[in-house]
Structure 1
Amino acid sequence: MNGWRKQIIDQLPYSYHSTIFLKDVDNLLSDEDIILFLQKENISLVQVNDRAELRRIYESNRNYEKGKWIYCVTGNKEFTFPFDMLQQGYYIELNIHDIMPSFSAQIIRQLDSEVLDALYAVSPQQQGSLSNADTCNFILKRVYKLAYDLVETEEEWMNLLIKIHESRYPLAPILREFIKEKIERKGISKEKLTLIESRAIFYQYLQAQWEEFVKQNINNDISVKDGYIDTYHKEHFLHSEHIQRAIQHLFIEGRLQAVEIDVERNIPLWAQNGVKQRSYNPLKDIQYLVDKVDSKLLIERKHHKDWIEIIDTFSQIKDLQLNYNMEKETVDSLASQVDAQFKEWMLTDYRALAGLSPYIKPAMVHHILPHLQLKDEKKQALIIMDGMSFIQWKQIKHALESNFTFEEYGVFAWVPTITEISRMSIFQATIPRLQKSTREEKAWKQFWNKESISDMHITFENILAQGDFSSKEFSALERSNNKKAAIILRNIDKLTHGAIQGLEGMYAEIDVWLKTNYLQDLLLHLKESGYSTYITSDHGNKESVGIGKVKQGSLVETKGERARIYSDPVFRDDAATQYSSVKWPNYGFSDDRHFLVAESGEAFVTKGQHIVSHGGISIEEVIVPFIKVY
Structure 2
Amino acid sequence: MSSWRDRILHHFDEPLLRLYLVSDPDDLLLDEELLTQLQNRGLTLIPYEDPVTFRYRYESFCRERLQNRSSHILLRVKEDSLDHLPYDFLKAGDRVDLRLSSLFPRLSANIVSELDGEQLDRLHIVYEEYTGPSSDSATCDFILRKVFKVPYDTIDNPVDLMKHLFAKHERGIRYPKSLEQFLIGKLRLRPELNRLPVEEIVSSSRAFFDYIQREWFTSLKKWSVEKEQGKEALPPDEQYGFEMQMFRHPEVWPFVEHLFMEGKLSRVRGIDANRLPEWTHVGIHSDPVAEEKQHLNHLLEKLEGGDDLSDHKGWLHRAMQFGRLKHLRLKLLTELDEETNRRIAALEKGLDAAFANWMLHGYRALPNLPHLPRPVMVHHIPHYLDYRRRSKVALMVVDGMSFVQWNQIREALELEFNMEENGVFAWVPTITSVSRQAIFTGEPPLLFPKTLHTTRKEASAWKLFWENHQVSKMRVTFEKGLGLGVYDSTHIQALQKDQTQIAGLVVDTIDRLMHGAIQGQEGIYEEIDLWLKKGYLKALIDDLLARGFDLYLTSDHGNEESCGIGRISEGVLAHSRGERVRIYSDESLRDRAAQAHPSHAWPGFGLPQGSSVLLARSGEAFIHEKEMIVSHGGISLEEVIVPFVHVTRKSE
Task: Specify whether residues 314 and 496 from structure 1 end up closer, same or farther in structure 2 by C-alpha distance, changes over 3 A only.
Answer: same
Map of 1:531 onto structure 2 = 549
Establish whether residue 61 from structure 1 lines up as the match of residue 61 from structure 2. Answer: yes
Establish whether residue 377 from structure 1 lines up as the match of residue 390 from structure 2. Answer: yes
Map of 1:615 onto structure 2 = 633
Kindly provide the CA deviation profile for residues 489-544 of structure 1, in whole angstroms up to 9, marking residues without a partner as x.
10111111122111121111111111222222222222222222211111110111
Using the TM superposition, give the Cα deviation of residue 268 of structure 1 relative to its aligned residue in structure 2, in angstroms: 5.3
Work out whether residues 558 and 564 of structure 1, in 8 Å CA contact, stay in contact via their aligned partners in 2.
yes
Q: Amino acid of the residue matched to residue 337 of structure 1?
A: G
Give secondary structure in 1 for the equivalent of 2:606: coil
Of the candidates 432, 438, 447, which is equivalent to residue 465 of structure 2? 447
Give secondary structure in 1 for the equivalent of 2:252: helix
Of the candidates 356, 359, 365, which is equivalent to residue 378 of structure 2? 365
After TM superposition, the structure 1 = structure 2 runs for residues 567-582 of structure 1, keeping only pairs within 5 Å, are 567-582=585-600
Task: Specify whether residues 217 and 495 from structure 1 end up closer, same or farther in structure 2 by C-alpha distance, changes over 3 A only.
Answer: farther
Kindly provide the CA deviation profile for residues 12-42 of structure 1, in whole angstroms up to 9, marking residues without a partner as x.
5885643333332222111121111111222
After TM superposition, the structure 1 = structure 2 runs for residues 131-210 of structure 1, keeping only pairs within 5 Å, are 131-187=135-191, 188-189=194-195, 191-210=197-216
Using the TM superposition, give the Cα deviation of residue 626 of structure 1 relative to its aligned residue in structure 2, in angstroms: 1.3
Of the candidates 412, 419, 424, which is equivalent to residue 406 of structure 1? 419
Query: In structure 2, how many angstroms separate the alpha carbons of the residues matched to 1:92 and 1:383?
Result: 42
Work out whether residues 21 and 82 of structure 2, in 8 Å CA contact, stay in contact via their aligned partners in 1.
no
Query: In structure 2, how many angstroms separate the alpha carbons of the residues matched to 1:36 and 1:556?
Result: 31
Query: In structure 2, how many angstroms separate the alpha carbons of the residues matched to 1:220 and 1:78?
Result: 71
Of the candidates 310, 313, 316, which is equivalent to residue 324 of structure 2? 316
After TM superposition, the structure 1 = structure 2 runs for residues 505-524 of structure 1, keeping only pairs within 5 Å, are 505-524=523-542
Give secondary structure in 1 for the equivalent of 2:306: helix
Using the TM superposition, give the Cα deviation of residue 409 of structure 1 relative to its aligned residue in structure 2, in angstroms: 1.4
Runs of 4+ in 1 over 6 A off after TM superposition: 75-79, 222-225
Query: In structure 2, how many angstroms separate the alpha carbons of the residues matched to 1:28 and 1:95?
Result: 8
Kindly provide the CA deviation profile for residues 456-490 of structure 1, in whole angstroms up to 9, marking residues without a partner as x.
11111112313443332222222232221111110
Stretch moving more, 609-618 or 203-212: 203-212
Q: TM-score, normalised by structure 2?
A: 0.89
After TM superposition, the structure 1 = structure 2 runs for residues 546-557 of structure 1, keeping only pairs within 5 Å, are 546-557=564-575
Task: Specify whether residues 334 and 265 from structure 1 end up closer, same or farther in structure 2 by C-alpha distance, changes over 3 A only.
Answer: farther
Give secondary structure in 1 for the equivalent of 2:114: coil
Of the candidates 131, 156, 162, which is equivalent to residue 127 of structure 1? 131
Kindly provide the CA deviation profile for residues 542-594 of structure 1, in whole angstroms up to 9, marking residues without a partner as x.
11111222222222221111111122334333333333222221222234222
Give secondary structure in 1 for the equivalent of 2:626: coil
Using the TM superposition, give the Cα deviation of residue 166 of structure 1 relative to its aligned residue in structure 2, in angstroms: 2.5
Query: In structure 1, how many angstroms separate the alpha carbons of the residues matched to 2:398 and 2:558?
Result: 10
Q: Amino acid of the residue matched to residue 294 of structure 1?
A: E
Kindly provide the CA deviation profile for residues 196-250 of structure 1, in whole angstroms up to 9, marking residues without a partner as x.
222122222222222323333468768999xx95623231133333222112222
Query: In structure 2, how many angstroms separate the alpha carbons of the residues matched to 1:270 and 1:48?
Result: 59
Map of 2:6 onto structure 1 = 6
Map of 2:102 onto structure 1 = 98
Map of 1:246 onto structure 2 = 255
Q: Amino acid of the residue matched to residue 240 of structure 2?
A: H
Work out whether residues 429 and 633 of structure 2, in 8 Å CA contact, stay in contact via their aligned partners in 1.
yes
Work out whether residues 247 and 256 of structure 2, in 8 Å CA contact, stay in contact via their aligned partners in 1.
no
Establish whether residue 389 from structure 1 lines up as the match of residue 402 from structure 2. Answer: yes
Establish whether residue 89 from structure 1 lines up as the match of residue 93 from structure 2. Answer: yes
Q: Amino acid of the residue matched to residue 234 of structure 1?
A: G
Establish whether residue 565 from structure 1 lines up as the match of residue 583 from structure 2. Answer: yes
Give secondary structure in 1 for the equivalent of 2:638: helix
Map of 1:234 onto structure 2 = 241
Query: In structure 2, how many angstroms separate the alpha carbons of the residues matched to 1:176 and 1:108?
Result: 13
Map of 2:454 onto structure 1 = none
Query: In structure 2, how many angstroms separate the alpha carbons of the residues matched to 1:76 and 1:390?
Result: 41
Q: Structure 1: any 5+ residue segments left out of the alignment?
A: none
Using the TM superposition, give the Cα deviation of residue 9 of structure 1 relative to its aligned residue in structure 2, in angstroms: 2.0
Query: In structure 2, how many angstroms separate the alpha carbons of the residues matched to 1:456 and 1:154?
Result: 51
Task: Specify whether residues 471 and 71 from structure 1 end up closer, same or farther in structure 2 by C-alpha distance, changes over 3 A only.
Answer: farther
Query: In structure 1, how many angstroms separate the alpha carbons of the residues matched to 2:443 and 2:46?
Result: 10
Give the number of the structure whose residues are more often helix, by fraction. 2
Of the candidates 420, 423, 433, which is equivalent to residue 433 of structure 2? 420
Establish whether residue 215 from structure 1 lines up as the match of residue 221 from structure 2. Answer: yes
Q: TM-score, normalised by structure 1?
A: 0.92
Using the TM superposition, give the Cα deviation of residue 190 of structure 1 relative to its aligned residue in structure 2, in angstroms: 7.2
Q: Amino acid of the residue matched to residue 120 of structure 1?
A: H
Query: In structure 2, how many angstroms separate the alpha carbons of the residues matched to 1:262 and 1:468?
Result: 37
Query: In structure 2, how many angstroms separate the alpha carbons of the residues matched to 1:115 and 1:88?
Result: 36
Query: In structure 2, how many angstroms separate the alpha carbons of the residues matched to 1:437 and 1:527?
Result: 36
Kindly provide the CA deviation profile for residues 253-290 of structure 1, in whole angstroms up to 9, marking residues without a partner as x.
33222224575638756544422322625444323222
Query: In structure 2, how many angstroms separate the alpha carbons of the residues matched to 1:255 and 1:559?
Result: 41
Establish whether residue 502 from structure 1 lines up as the match of residue 520 from structure 2. Answer: yes
Q: Sequence identity of aligned pairs in percent?
A: 36
Work out whether residues 253 and 316 of structure 1, in 8 Å CA contact, stay in contact via their aligned partners in 2.
no
Give secondary structure in 2 for the equivalent of 1:525: helix
Give secondary structure in 1 for the equivalent of 2:190: coil
Query: In structure 2, how many angstroms separate the alpha carbons of the residues matched to 1:38 and 1:582?
Result: 24
Q: Amino acid of the residue matched to residue 610 of structure 1?
A: M
Task: Specify whether residues 502 and 452 from structure 1 end up closer, same or farther in structure 2 by C-alpha distance, changes over 3 A only.
Answer: same
Work out whether residues 581 and 634 of structure 2, in 8 Å CA contact, stay in contact via their aligned partners in 1.
yes
Give secondary structure in 1 for the equivalent of 2:274: coil
Aligned-CA RMSD value: 2.7
